[in-house]
Amino acid sequence: DSVGKLFAAIAAAKTPDFDRFIFALGIRHIGETSARVIARHYGTLQALRDAGLAIASGDPAAVEELSAIDGIGDSLVSSLAEFFAEPHNVTTLSELIDLGVQPKALPAVAQESPVSGKTVVFTGTLEKMTRAEAKARAEMLGAKVAGSISAKTDIVVAGPGAGSKRKKAEELGVEILDEAGWLALIGLV
């Protein structure tokens, strides 16, 4: 019935994915990727709020902890400090916590996988999964997913329609896999 669906929707809204919750806060310089990095590091909304308050107050240990995370730069640290220095933002987050909003922690990242620590770029069309699913799977396996190819790229997964990125990978001598090769590498075939 519609009342049951409404209550189910309300319950689901109280447990969003933590990275999406952080991204939805609209903090300057925090995109989807950095939101995921922050969500993995802090784990809970309470831990993020506490760290944010410490960062906003200038606590050197809290600032250093955030700055030490791979992929987090000075502008992001400043943006987080500004966000948590605004009392309205802290009050709103505290009220959400009091209302029972508990974003879901992201699954742990595999420490040992064939792609952990490697930089992967997806290009072209993927047929077995969406690009978002492929990126999420790669990140769960400890890979860093990039949008462009450089000398630091380890693997390019090239589906049909891959163009200039595949060419650049060939020029740089980067390992190129098709989707089936990628799935076999990560153990999904």
Three-class HEC string of 146-186: ECCCCCCCCEEEECCCCCHHHHHHHHHCCEEECHHHHHHHC
Provide the pLDDT confidence category of residue 12 given band limits of 50, 70 and 90. Answer: confident
Q: What is the value of pTM for the model shown?
A: 0.64
Q: Give me the pLDDT at residue 70, please.
A: 73
Share of the chain above pLDDT 70, in %: 97
Q: Tens digits of per-residue pLDDT, 1-10?
A: 788 888 888 8
pLDDT over threshold 90, residue 21: yes
DSSP string, 106-131: PPPPPSSSTTTT-EEEEES--SSS-H
| 153 touches 169 (CB < 8 A) | yes
Copy the structure tokens of residue 87: 């009392």
Left, alpha or beta for 146 (phi > 0: left; psi -120 to 50: alpha)? beta
CA–CA dist 115, 53 (Å, integer): 35
Q: Tens digits of per-residue pLDDT, 80-132?
A: 999 999 999 999 999 998 988 899 887 777 678 889 889 999 998 888 888 87
Q: Give me the pLDDT at residue 72, please.
A: 84
